[in-house]
Structure formats: C-alpha cells, structure tokens
Amino acid sequence: MQQVYFDNAATTPIRSEVVDVISEVMKTNYGNASSSHSFGRSAKVLLEKSRKTIAGYLNCSAGEIVFTSGGTEADNLILRSAVRDLKVTHIITSKIEHHAVLHTVEALKREYEIQVSYVNLDENGDVDYLHLETLLDVESKTLVSLMHINNEIGNILDIKQVSDLCLKYDALFHSDAVQSVGHYQLNLEEIKVDFLAASAHKFHGPKGIGFVYVRKDSGLHPLIFGGEQERGLRAGTESVHNIVGMEKALKLSCDNLETEQSYLRDLKAYFKEELLKGISDIKFNGQSGDLEQSTNTMLNLRLPSSKVDASMILFQLDLKGIACSRGSACQSGSSQKSHVLSEILNAEDLQKPALRFSFSVFNTKEEIDYVVDVLKTLSK
C-alpha cells in the first residue's frame, strides 16, 4: 500500500538537514544559554545567531524576534498583553481565524469585558476591507487580529492593505502568519504589522518552537513570568537546539523560495486539473481553487455526494495510506463541522464531505494520481 502524506498544513516533515543540525547542537552545545561559563556562552552565541538570521529573512531587527513554543503561545502572548497591559478595549478579528486567536479573544471578552467586532466576509471567506475600515473608525484603543493565510481554505489576506488601514486609524495590527512564514516573502520594513506569529513545524522545522515578531517599543509585556530570558518577554530556558533547527529550516525555505513556490504552484494546478477531470461536480471551498488568491500549499475540496460523511471518507483514505484532514488538526476528533466552512457555505453544501489536502515540496504528481484514483472510487 502506498503511503501519501497530504496534511502539511497540520505539520510538515522535518528536513534531514534540520535533524542533523539539531542533533549536533544537542551533542555539543548543551549549555544553558543564560549561564555565564563557556558552555553557556557558546549556547548563547548560537541563540543570538539564530535570532539575527531569522530577523534578516523578515527584514526586521534581531531585538524584535522573541522565541516561543509555537504559534498558539505567540497569539496568546500578543492578545493577552494587548488587553491587559496595552489597554486595548476593542479587538477586530474574523470568525474564520485559528482557534488560538478566537478562543483567546472570547476569553478576554469574558475576563475584561472588551468589545469584539467581527469583520464581514464574502462568500469565499475574503475580508471586506471597506467594512474593516468602518470598524476601525472608532475612538477606542483597537487591535486588529487577522491571519495572513487561512489554515483551512488557504485564502491570502492583503496584509499590506490591512497594515496601512491600521496605521491610518492608529490601531495595532497582529497577524497569525503560521501558514505563510517560510512559504512567502514577508518584508516587515514595508508591512507595518506590530506583532506576527510563526511556528517552525509548518516550514519543515521541529515542533514545539516558534517565534513572535514584536515591533520595537510596542510595550508588550510577558505572559510567562520567571527569568529574564528573551529580554524579559518570555521566561524559561531557551530550547537552543530547536531554535537552531528552526533557523536552519527557515534558511532552507527562504533560500529556495522561488524554486519551491514554482514547484508547489505546478503541483497544486495539476491536482486541481486531475480532480476536475476525474470527479464531476467537485467544488473547491473558499479561494483554495484559485491559484492566485490562495496559498500554493493547500486545496480544500467539496465532494458532490452528501451520502457519506467526511469523517468516514477520511477513515477510508487512511486505510489506503492517504493522510489529509477535514480542517485544523487542533479540531481533530471533534464532531463539530469546521467553523471556517460554517461561515461561508450554505446548509446544503455543509452536508457534503469537505477535505483539506495540503502539500509540500516532498510530494509528487505520482502521489496525486494515486489520491485522485482513490477519491474517484470513494465518490461514486
């Protein structure tokens, strides 16, 4: 049986070069980066080198990069500090954000009685920028939190347009960029976000490590208290081997960005073409079927039949060695339908099985042929 991994939006396979560098650091640079002896200083050098390299790829200063355990911690750090310490009383977001944002915003609303506004979306899940501007035209201290690339339907936010609107109305701007860092070029000198979250395991790095970009003099306060690591913004001994692994993964992704983007664009176009040829009345959710308006790494499809539940099809695909998902891995096992699709699909379309296929440069057209053949059989 063939084994095909098409769930890269959940997590990506770690590159062998990244495994090698992590292993080397674990063996030779095991000192605590906060220690003053030579072992600690050696670890500190690696830590700061990684910080500088990552900052270089985002065109920001090294002091604006704070290491975290991943995107969820980064989102919580930003949102909670914004309300608790920066005195934000109004958060603008959308109903199709990752739950790391949505659930945190809901908790903050209960705890601090802040105002929460949800920007309108069109039928494809794209933000209504005119409505966003209307929401921004208020007197209260406001934070906008909108993800750069949606993790279920792959829609790409015009992050520059949002940052310009936030500047115009003197609002803070946070973007969960977990699905875009390492896959798209982000120049933070041009895109005036205040905060941005990333996670290494989404671009072929290790799990359990990520970072948050915090614009200089933002006034952000820590979520986790303890030591003075990360300039006092994130206490806890730094995972130096994972940080170096993340640096290596980002370097490999960014240095090969143009080549890998081209490969993924062709792969996605081929997948879409074969699906349209092989399965009548197949549809694509959100903008995922648009090669210009969505990420190269994702295709969220809707099968024509409503007779079979998506979870049953996932089980049958798994038996055939094919890994994909219904949506966010964080919701795996939940009986609830995707909150993203629930916002953009009508009741009839919601009854049809929807599947998210997400791919990487390690996938091939031969794997796509196999997946399409299996899907054709299951959709009859």
Q: Which residues are catalytic?
A: 330
Which is nearest to 93 in space by CA: 54, 140, 144? 144
- Which residues, at least 6 apart from 165, have a Cβ–Cβ distance to it below 8 Å? 129, 132, 133, 136, 144, 171
CB atoms under 10 Å from CB of 329, counted, come to 14
Nearest of 3, 338, 301, 295 to residue 150 by alpha carbon: 295
Measured in degrees and rounded to the nearest 5, phi and psi for residue 203 equal -130, 45
Q: In a 3-state reduction of DSSP, which class is residue 231?
A: helix
CA distance 271 to 266: 9
Give the C-alpha separation, 14 to 202, whole Å: 9
- The residues, ordered by sequence, that sit 6+ positions from 337 with a Cβ below 8 Å of its Cβ are 350
Residue 345 to residues 23, 120, 123, 124, 354: CA-CA distances in angstroms?
46, 14, 7, 9, 11
Secondary structure (3-state) at 316: helix
